[in-house]
Amino acid sequence: MKNIFSILFFTIIFNHCFSQVYTINQGGTITGCAADFYDSGNSGANYGNNENFTMTFHSSNPTNTHIRVNFSTFGVDASDTLYVYDGSSTAAPLLGKYNNAMPVPSFVMASIYNASGDLTFNFKSDATINTSGWFASIVCSKPCQKIIANLSFPETFPTPDSNYVDICLGNGITFAALANNVAFPENGVLYTQDEATSQFLWDFGDGQTATGRVVNHLYSQVRGYDIGLTITDANGCVNSNYLGARVRVSSNPYGQISPIPDLCSGSDTTYVSVGYNSGSVITINPITSVQSSTQIFDSTMFIPDGPACAVQCYNTYVTFTAFPPSSTVQSASDIMGICVNMEHSYAGDLGFRIICPNGQSVQLDPNTHSGGAFMGIPLEGLADDLNHQCDGAYNTPGTGWTYCWSEIYPTHGTLDALSSGGFGGAIDSTNTVNHTNYIQPNNPLSGLIGCPLNGTWNIEICDDFGQDNGYIFWWSLQLDPSLLPVNWSYQVPIDSIIWTGNAFTNVSDSVIMIVPDSSGSFQYTVRLVDKFGCSYDTTFNLQVVQTPEVNLGNDTTVCSNGFQMDLDAGPGNLYTWNNGYDQQIYSITSSGTYSVTVTNINAAQTLQCTSRDTIEIKSLVLPTINLGPDICSTTPVTLDAGNPSLLHQWSDGATTQTHTITTSGTYSCAVAEQFGYGCEVNDEVVITIIPEPIIDAGDNQTACRHTNVFIALTDPNNYLSNYTYNYSWTFNPPIDGGEISDLTKGAISLSWLTPGVYEITGKVTGCTTVEDKMFLTIQPCDLEMPNVITPNGDGVNDYLRIPNVEFYPNSTMRIFNRWGEKVYENTNYNNEWNGENCADGVYFYIFDVNYGSHKNGIDLRPLNGVVNIMR
């Protein structure tokens, strides 16, 4: 729409009043917010040689304090340079130096660190080549500090995972933006901004919005949501980065639960599975969502008259989120077109610039302040009064036409060229179907190479010339189809499955095997925990019919000549015995094999649970046996176990009823109708068989009292050596003193008995007792030592003769003279010493008498004395 007087002349004058023209050679400081800025040659000539001019621009607007210069054309030879300083003089920081070798950007603006908001230009040329110079528009803008929109992870709940907030349906989310020290990294530079003086506008992606740094929101549908956050500070500056946060909502995934048939306890097995396929007992509906992406700004925005209103530049923001990560513009050909749908009078008053998320921009059309053609169909006529010309509520939108800038499709000129055709005519719109009537950008789109595709893009429209206005209805970025974002989606996988219930085993995470061990109605719970941490429970019931526990017992043998036994099949509904009997308890009185089948039936009569058992009953005779008392006999013994019709098993292997025993021992016999069934009876008897010997005590003997006398019983049949007998001896008269030693098998040794005659009787006892006797005469056999010998050869007392010395063999005689010299020695003295060559006199003797000669040993006892030799 345009607010314009119908008199063209007035319009020309009016426009002239609002636009001043300055050339750099005028120098000085220019204060204002609407001016055309040229080199010294103005619009029709080149700049001159050896120039060195300086000019400063200062804003006259107390709100829009910072100067921005939009360059429409620029041609400065590489030997000449335009210097731009961020301040009121050339002493300020240098923003840049530009010529054809170092091209100027589409605009230059005083930085936020420049408190004056001024820009100072210094141009220097040499004496050689002069070119066309430049044309630029001077506008005033608000200073803007940098704003960063990001989530505060510690305050956002649930805590995001790489900018994704995953929740369960029905759970709210707390969104929190970063606070002062992060959201406003340039705070305090030129002006103060903080969360208290800024507006936080959240777009939850479900059509709802909220304001505040920390907000709460509840989503009502399962899907994904792109979360937008716009932070606007007190100067109206907006973050240019994209928040990039998304919400993914999960919900209960349970689908259909197929009924599980009744089972029999202890015998049936069923598998319960959880899965996405229809064959699962418990089906899971995948929790998925697909979100479509948009690349269009589709909100209507009023663009009021330039200098008459507080703001001259308006931004239309659109945020792209679904491009592949780190995707950037690779070449100018990636951008097929940049389209706006709008209406506005006097297109020459407008400047268009596209700005990508990292701040790179391209001036599509500069503010040249020339040309009167319209864009679309504006509605002419003033607002109710001039006080409302900046308020969209008082300015009705016209009809928007679509205009697209492109370097791909055929163009019919720049916007400046198309708007220079006079007042009142409309610029032809772009045909986006046939790709005609595109507009040539004033600056190459290669200036957007390196721009990230994800983030906040905007078209800035500046109206810094009076008096006209209009509306923009939408704009879009048309990219090469190979770059276009695809829809984003998500699926919530199941992280774990937890089963609880009776008598099951995990086959895998998603399958259990149920083998019920008892009857009843059992409830099972399945808990699914998804990747978002959401937990969902469902239950199913299983009816288990008791499988009868039939136990007739172990096979049994009954030892009796008559019996009755009750077989109990246990509780159940139906009983079928092998002989047709149909009750639980069956009384039997005879041997045989008995089997029963017991059945339990479920309530629906659809399931029969059966169990079967078999028992074998044997009835065997219980015999009696008596082998009699233990027997000792001199001859073989025949034993009779009785029970002629039964089986016999003797301990020595015999199997006959009678058994003749020829050797001593303990004998037993088992009797049974059948062995191995516990109905055997046993008896045992000890049989001792010892023949009666014929014994001989030997001949009568005579012996000295000190000698050993041996008496041994003998038997010509050698029974004494082969059998075990008991031996005993009697003495008449009884032996008083002396030595008696029992030797093996009826032999004794006697010594040192009192001299006399003894009747000695030997007895041998086996199963009978026999005896024999002999007489033993004991003589003293004492030694009498002489004390004088007369070895004169007369044959009388010539030798030292000791009576009975022959009964003491191996006795040693040693004889010493009075000086202790040994004159004689004999180890078996037998009356041989006759004094030999010894002189008459007294001699000492030591006679070691061997009392052990008859014991086959030595028992020396000294006998000392003196003997005289007298011739």
Range of the domain at 770: 701-779
Q: Would you say residue 223 lies in a domain?
A: no
Closest residue by Cα to residue 601 from 569, 570, 574: 574
pLDDT for 854 beyond 80: no
Is 80 exceeded by the pLDDT of residue 837?
yes
Query: What is the spatial order of strands in the sheet that 28-31 belongs to?
Result: 28-31, 52-58, 119-124, 81-85, 94-98
Is residue 676 domain-shared with residue 764, that is, in the same domain?
A: no
pLDDT mean over 139-162: 90
The pLDDT, as a whole number, for residue 858 is: 78
Residue 317 lies in a domain: yes
37-41, 89-93, 418-422, 835-839: range with lowest mean pLDDT: 418-422
* Residue 755 covered by a domain: yes
pLDDT digits (tens, 9 = 90+) for 800-835: 999 999 989 999 999 999 999 999 999 999 999 999
Confirm whether 220 is domain-assigned: no
Tell me, yes or no, whether 90 and 118 share the same domain.
yes
Instruction: Report the distance separating Cα 361 and Cα 796, nearest Å.
Output: 173
Q: What is the CATH number of the domain that holds 674?
A: 2.60.40.10
State which of 115-124, 266-275, 313-322, 552-561 shows the largest mean pLDDT. 115-124
- Least Cα distance to 141 among 272, 271, 236 occurs for 236
Residues 336 and 373 in one domain: yes
- Asked whether residue 717 is domain-assigned, the answer is yes
**Is 213 a domain residue?**
no
DSSP result, 59-95? ---SSS-EEEEEEEEEE--TTSEEEEESSSSTTSPEE
Q: What is the mean pLDDT of the chain?
A: 88
User: For 673-736, where are the E strands, in sequence order?
Assistant: 681-689, 701-704, 709-712, 726-732
- Domain closes at, from 91, 116, 141: 141
Residue 759: is its pLDDT beyond 70? yes
- Tens of pLDDT along 293-349? 545 666 677 788 766 676 677 778 777 766 777 788 999 998 989 999 998 888 878
pLDDT at 751 over 80: yes
> Which pLDDT value is given to residue 867?
94
pLDDT of 500: 95
Distance CA 483, CA 322 (A): 11
Distances (CA, A) of 518 to 521, 547, 548, 605: 10, 8, 10, 19
> Is 718 in the same domain as 817?
no
pLDDT in the model for residue 466: 66
- In this predicted structure, the answer to whether residue 775 has a pLDDT above a threshold of 70 is yes
pLDDT band (50, 70, 90) for residue 486: low
**Stretch 256-269: mean pLDDT:** 91
Predicted pLDDT at 226: 82
- For range 673-696, the mean pLDDT: 92
* Statement to judge: residues 450 and 497 lie in one domain: no
Confidence of residue 416 (pLDDT cuts 50, 70, 90): confident
* pLDDT score, position 1: 42
Whole-number percent of the chain with pLDDT over 70: 93
In-domain check, residue 175: no
- Domain total of the chain: 7
pLDDT the model gives residue 13: 34
Rounded Cα distance between 365 and 348, Å, is: 9
- Whether 70 and 94 share a structural domain: yes
Mean pLDDT for the stretch of residues 64-79 = 90
Nearest to 544 by CA among 597, 505, 504, 598: 504
Note whether 454 and 370 are same-domain residues. Answer: yes
| Residue pLDDT, tens place only, 589-643 | 888 999 999 999 998 899 999 999 999 998 898 899 999 999 999 999 999 999 9
Domain match, 451 and 336 both? yes
- Section 12-35 average pLDDT: 75
Q: In what order do the strands lie in the sheet with 747-751?
A: 709-712, 747-751, 739-743
- What CATH code is carried by the domain that includes residue 858? 2.60.40
What's the confidence (pLDDT) of residue 17?
Answer: 38
Check whether residue 300 and residue 283 sit in a common domain.
no
3-state secondary structure of 416: helix
Is residue 416 assigned to a domain? Answer: yes
Residue 635 and residue 610 share a domain: no
Q: Which of 599, 620, 641 is the last residue of a domain?
A: 620
Q: pLDDT-based confidence at 5, cuts 50/70/90?
A: very low
Residues 393, 300: one domain?
yes
For residue 765, give both structure tokens.
Answer: 């006892």
Residues 311 and 450 reside in one and the same domain: yes
| pLDDT 10s digits, 451-474 | 988 877 888 888 877 667 788 888
| Predicted confidence (pLDDT) per residue in 176-212, tens digit | 999 888 899 888 888 888 889 899 999 898 878 899 9
- Sorting pLDDT into bands at 50, 70 and 90, what band is 577? very high
Q: Residue 381: its pLDDT value, please?
A: 52
Question: Given 779, 809, 838, which residue is the final one in a domain?
Answer: 779
Cα dist from 522 to 435, 504, 767, 838, whole Å: 72, 11, 82, 131
